[in-house]
Chain A
Amino acid sequence: SAVISQKPSRDICQRGTSLTIQCQVDSQVTMMFWYRQQPGQSLTLIATANQGSEATYESGFVIDKFPISRPNLTFSTLTVSNMSPEDSSIYLCSVAWWGRRETQYFGPGTRLLVL
C-alpha cells in the first residue's frame, strides 16, 4: 500500500487564475494518475503521469489546460490553468505498480471552487 498526501486540501480561486496541486507518496511508485470528480459526475481520469515520460492525457483533456510534472518516483503536480467555474471539482491523485490486477491507492483529494 501507499500513503499519499495532497496539497492544498481545498481552495477557492478566481476565474482566469491557475492552481498547482501537489501529490506526494511515501514510497516509490511506477504509475501516478490524476482524476477529477465534477459535481454529480463520476470520477474521471485526466492523465497518467509516469516518470521519465510525458504525461498521457485522456480524450477531452489537454496539456495546455492541465500541465503535469513528474520529476521523480514519489512526487507529481497537476496545474489547472486559466480556471473557469466548470473546473470546480475534487481532484485526486492515485498511484499503482505495474501489474494488471493491482489496486490503485488514492490521495485525499483537493476540493477546488472557482468563482
Chain B
Amino acid sequence: ILNVEQSPQSLHVQEGDSTNFTCSFPSSNFYALHWYRWETAKSPEALFVMTLNGDEKKKGRISATLNTKEGYSYLYIKGSQPEDSATYLCAFPRYNNAGNMLTFGGGTRLMVKP
C-alpha cells in the first residue's frame, strides 16, 4: 500500500498572502508525482507532472518543487487570491499491465479570504 500524505489538511489565508504545502511520498521506485487542483463542483485540474529530482515547475503564481531522494514535493502559491480557493491534491502513480493508477494524498483545502 502506497503512503501519500499531504499537510496541512486545511489552510486559511488572507488575500495577498503567499503559502505553501507539502506532499510526501515513497522515495523508492519513483516515476512521477502529479499535482491537481480541485474546485468544488468542477473536474480536478492537472497542474504539474513532476519527474526529475530538483525539478521546479511554474504556472502563473503557482509553482512546485520536487525532492525524490527524500520523498517530498512542495506547492507554493504567491500572492493568494480568492479564486485560488480549492483543494490541492498530489498523486503518486504506480504501473502494471492495466495502466498507470494514481494513489492520492488526502489533499490540502485552501481558503483565501478577501
A residues lining the B interface (CB < 8 Å):
4, 30-31, 33, 41-45, 48, 50, 53, 56, 58, 92, 94, 96, 98-109
A101:B51 contact, CB within 8 angstroms: yes
B99:A33 contact, CB within 8 angstroms: yes
CB contact under 8 A between A108 and B99, given known A42-B107, A103-B49: no
Q: For this complex, into which size category does the number of interface residues on chain B fall?
A: 20 to 34
Contacts of A43 in B (CB 8 A): 44, 89, 91, 102, 104, 107
Which of B32, B43, B99, B106 touches A48 (beta carbons < 8 Å)? B99
B98:A50 contact, CB within 8 angstroms: yes
A104:B98 contact, CB within 8 angstroms: no
Contacts of B44 in A (CB 8 A): 43, 92, 106
A-facing residues in B78-104 (Cβ within 8 Å): 89, 91, 93, 95, 98-104
Give Cα distance in the complex from A48 to B34, angstroms. 18
Nearest residue (CB) in B for A56 is B98
B residues lining the A interface (CB < 8 Å):
31-32, 34, 36, 41-44, 46, 49, 51, 89, 91, 93, 95, 98-107
Contacts of A50 in B (CB 8 A): 98-99
Q: Main secondary structure on chain B at its contact with chain A? A: strand
CB contact under 8 A between A109 and B43, given known A42-B105, A101-B31: yes
CB contact under 8 A between A108 and B34, given known A44-B104, A45-B103, A48-B99: no
CB contact under 8 A between A103 and B104, given known A43-B89, A48-B98, A56-B98: no
Give the distance to chain A from B42, nearest Cβ to Cβ, in Å: 6
B102:A104 contact, CB within 8 angstroms: yes
- Most-contacted residue by chain A among B36, B43, B46 (CB, 10 A): B43
Nearest residue (CB) in A for B103 is A45
Contacts of A99 in B (CB 8 A): 100
A102:B103 contact, CB within 8 angstroms: no
- Most-contacted residue by chain A among B41, B93, B101 (CB, 10 A): B101
B101:A48 contact, CB within 8 angstroms: yes
CB contact under 8 A between A103 and B34, given known A4-B43, A108-B41: yes
